[in-house]
Amino acid sequence: MTLWNGSYPFYPGASACFPFDTTQTVIVTVFLSMLVTFILILPGIRGRARLFWFLRLVLGLFMGAVVLTVQFTRDWETGWVQANTSYKSFSPVQVNTDIGLHIGLGGVNITLRGNPVHQINETINYNEHFPWSFGADYERSYSEGLQKGLPSPILYVAEKFSRQSPCAVHRQYRIAGHYASLTLWLAFCTWLISILLFSMSILLYGGHMLLLTATLILFSLLFFSTTRNTLKCPIQFGPVSLRTDYGESFWLTLATGLLCLLLGLGIIILNSVQPEKLKLIFSLDRSSKEKVWDKSCLPAEPSCSAQDVLMVPLGQLCQVTATEL
């Protein structure tokens, strides 16, 4: 392949990528809208019940938003490396780039960014996604990348996760991602049920559902972590290699699972040890609103019932003399 006016005609310029994931943006927007809506009615709640209600609202929405959002994130496992590598195949031209690998539950993202971005009369700034979720064909995406003429580093990394690769990591990541996604969907359903039970003041069963939610979240992490036990295929760029580690989504999911676990255990323990405090936290303590009837609430006038008449001592009865007509 030859140069044409200082550029490579086979490789088109890098297309502009959307700056953020629309699915994650929609989910975050929906949950933030719900939070703002509930905050608007917060001044209508009096006393310390306002603080407890706000804490329950924030924690509940946070857990639901995390469980739903991490389904679509692409940073469960990430890695970066800076290397001097060829920009295209069969060319000795080297470019200095940052190469990133981002693995999610539904596929892999490969990032290529130049240092600087503008080199060899081109803008080196790529972010390509290769899915392996249900209904997606990884091999087809890889073939389309070959047809588009993606840069050589992206194709090299993508080839490591293909089915034909001797690394044999495609099946492990695909199965682990499917099972982790399934358990997270189940966790989202149990979270909804726990919110419904708490709204119906069924606190004990709501705590049990939170424990089940935490168990499912932790199992999803266990499923995904099984990929780390497989033999890693080296991704080598000259003297340096691209290594990955758990990303932000993994640790955020772990923190959410532990939070659900602590809250569920706390609710169950409080329900058995100090149920009054648990009712106070959920604004169910209405003892102050109940009216206690005592003697001061009885009428001051004497009663004229038959029972009062029969209880009058006999000595106080007046004798009546009857006169015959």
301 strand-pairing partners:
none
Percentage, residues of the chain above pLDDT 70: 80
> Model confidence over 83-96: pLDDT tens digits?
999 888 777 888 99
Pairing of strands 245-246, 236-237: unpaired
287 versus 34: the higher-pLDDT residue is 34
Q: Is the pTM of this model over 0.85?
A: no
Predicted local confidence at residue 298, as pLDDT: 43
End-to-end CA distance of the chain: 146
The pLDDT-based confidence of 39 (bands split at 50, 70, 90) is: confident
Tell me how far apart the alpha carbons of residues 54 and 173 are, in angstroms, rounded to a whole number: 39
- Tokens standing for residue 177: 């991602």
Which stretches within 105-169 are classed as H helix? 138-148, 152-160
* Model confidence at 199: pLDDT above 60: yes
- Domain positions in the chain are 22-74+178-226+248-280, 77-170
Q: Which of 174, 182, 57, 166 is nearest to 104 (CA)?
A: 174
Q: Which of 264, 210, 256, 258 is nearest to 71 (CA)?
A: 256
CB atoms within 10 A of CB 267: 24
Give the residue carrying structure tokens 């090299």: 156
> Model confidence over 152-182: pLDDT tens digits?
999 999 999 998 888 888 888 999 999 999 9
The pLDDT-based confidence of 11 (bands split at 50, 70, 90) is: very low
